[in-house]
Amino acid sequence: MSAAELPFNDLSPGEDDAEVRAAIDRVLRRGWFILGPELEAFEAEFAAAAGTRFAVGVGNGTDAIALLLRASGIKAGDEVIVPAITAAFTALAVIAAGATPVIVDVDPETLMLDVEACEASLTSRVTALLPVHLYGQAADMDKLRQLAERRHLLLIEDCCQAHLATYRNQPVGSFGVGGAFSFYPTKNLAALGDAGAVVTQDGTIAGRIRRLRDGGQSARYAHDEPGVNSRLDELQAAVLRARLARLPDWTGRRRALARLYRARLEGAIAMPPEREPGHVYHLFPVRSSQRDRLQQHLRDDGIGTLVHYPKPLSEQPAFDGCRRDACTHAAAAARELLSLPLHPRLANGDVERVADSVRRFSL
């Protein structure tokens, strides 16, 4: 293979290297590693950036969803609607909270939760909607909020792919009870390991999550309810603080690269539409009926790609006991979706190279 390798992502030290190392050194010198000043500062800074009153740091995005569900009053016997296209951890978090996911089909264009399919799946057991802001673009929050209000449902947002994305200029995570974020190393705002947070406008919800993440303690050795051990540690909080300052510029770069992809690939391959200017482009998927051949063609050209997600939740054995509809749109998309490289370190020439390869395949 003569072409230089172009990996799907690059997680090695980058332009933020000095700030990240300084943040780590600051924590090491202080010698305080759990529930300390770095976490408190990050929670305040992230809440401000997300447009909410509160942020609570937890161990990962899955715990963020599960703890938000629990703090909102979701309990055993309840059902929570989730989209068929998402990481399995969205539905696994529902199970971790003691409830049961109901898997619903997606809109054939946006690939996010289909509101009509949601309404058709409602029963007296459904107590919450859990939309996913997929690939960095907000779901249709107007229709989802209207449905939630009309049917007296909780609205809880999975924002794990949509750091500081907006819907009609309002930040995701601020529409319902709250939003859950992941800071996994591949995310737009990335830790150096697992990390997550919940954002909310509700001080009671925030307070309960703070207890639940720390074993249900209201004070040292005072366990008021069964909690978990899911605390965002000081090292990760410090790293996230350093990177949060760069996130607006990184998001701008992602959007510029996405515009270039769209311009170069128009007419050559199908792309999920950009419905919101607040899209933050965590991923850039394309759709091809010859997805596997396209992926091999790009691999032969030295270009890395990934498939998100090869099986919809409706086809995952882990959820065999859950209620689901046919999910025909999700099943079709899962056979066709391929994610192209998109991250702030890419040069315009890298995008041109990928687009040229896709166009050659499509001729």
- 31-47 pLDDT, tens digit per residue, is 999 999 999 999 999 99
Q: Are 140 and 110 in contact (CB under 8 A)?
A: yes
Residue 2 has pLDDT above 80, yes or no: no
Give 317-350 pLDDT, tens digit per residue: 999 999 998 999 999 999 999 999 999 999 999 9
Q: 253 and 332 share a domain?
A: yes
Average pLDDT, integer, range 78-86: 98
Helix (H, G, I), strand (E, B) or coil at 299: helix
Cα 281 vs. chain centroid, distance in angstroms? 11
Judge if 202 and 259 occupy the same domain. no
What per-residue confidence (pLDDT) applies to 1? Answer: 40
Residue 9 domain-assigned (yes or no): no
How far is Cα 275 from Cα 110, in angstroms, rounded to an integer?
8
pLDDT of residue 3: 56
SS3 state at 204: helix
Token pair listed for 74: 């979701």
> In the beta sheet, which residues pair with residue 167?
170
List the domain range (segments joined by +) for residue 256.
247-362
Say whether both 183 and 274 belong to one domain.
no
What is the pLDDT at residue 363?
A: 78
Domain CATH number, residue 222: 3.40.640.10
First to last CA, the chain: 22
Domain end among 213, 244, 275:
244
Q: Which residues are CB-neighbours of 339 under 8 A, at least 6 positions away?
A: 8, 283, 284, 285, 305, 306, 307, 308
- pLDDT tens across 115-128, in order? 999 999 999 999 99
Is pLDDT above 80 for 48? yes
- Asked whether residue 351 carries a pLDDT value surpassing 90, the answer given is yes
Residues 256 and 172 in one domain: no
Q: Based on the number of CB atoms within 10 Å of its own CB, is 50 exposed (0-12), middle (13-18) or buried (19 or more)?
A: buried
| Number of other CB atoms surrounding residue 9 within 10 Å | 15
User: Which pLDDT score is estimated for 295?
Assistant: 98
138-189 confidence digits (pLDDT tens):
999 999 999 999 999 999 999 999 999 999 999 999 999 999 999 999 999 9
In a domain, 52, yes or no: yes
CA of residue 119 relative to chain centroid, distance = 24
**82 beta partners:** 103
- Are 141 and 220 members of one domain? yes
Domain membership flag for residue 10: no
> What does the radius of gyration of the chain's CA atoms come to, in whole angstroms?
20
- Side-chain-side CA neighbours of 296 within 13 Å: the count stands at 3
Residues 216, 261 within the same domain:
no
209 three-class SS: helix
The CA distance from 71 to 106, in Å, is 27
Q: What is the largest CA-CA distance in the chain?
A: 67
pLDDT more than 90, % of the chain: 98
pLDDT, mean of residues 274-285: 97
Which of 244, 272, 293 finishes a domain? 244
Q: Are residues 185 and 274 in the same domain?
A: no
- 320 in a domain, yes or no? yes
Predicted structure pTM score: 0.97
Can you say how many angstroms the Cα of residue 169 is from the centroid of all Cα atoms in its chain? Answer: 19
Report, as an integer, the average pLDDT of 68-85.
98
State whether 232 and 254 are in the same domain.
no
Residues 66 and 164 in one domain: yes
Tokens of 321: 């006991």
Asked if the structure places residue 1 within a domain, the reply is no
Name the one residue in this structure whose structure tokens are 């016997």: 77
For residue 4, what pLDDT band results from cuts at 50, 70 and 90? Answer: low
Residue with tokens 């249900």, as numbered in its chain: 216
- State the SS3 of 111-168: CCECHHHHHHCCCCCEEEECCECHHHCCCCHHHHHHHHHHCCCEEEEECCCCCCCEEC
Whether the link from the prior residue into 309 is cis, omega within 30° of 0, is: yes
Does residue 5 form part of some domain? no
- Tell me the helices (H) and strands (E) count for the chain, helix number first: 12, 13
The total domain count for the chain is: 2
Do 150 and 273 belong to one domain? no
- Same domain (yes/no): 68, 155: yes
Last residue of a domain, one of 228, 244, 260: 244
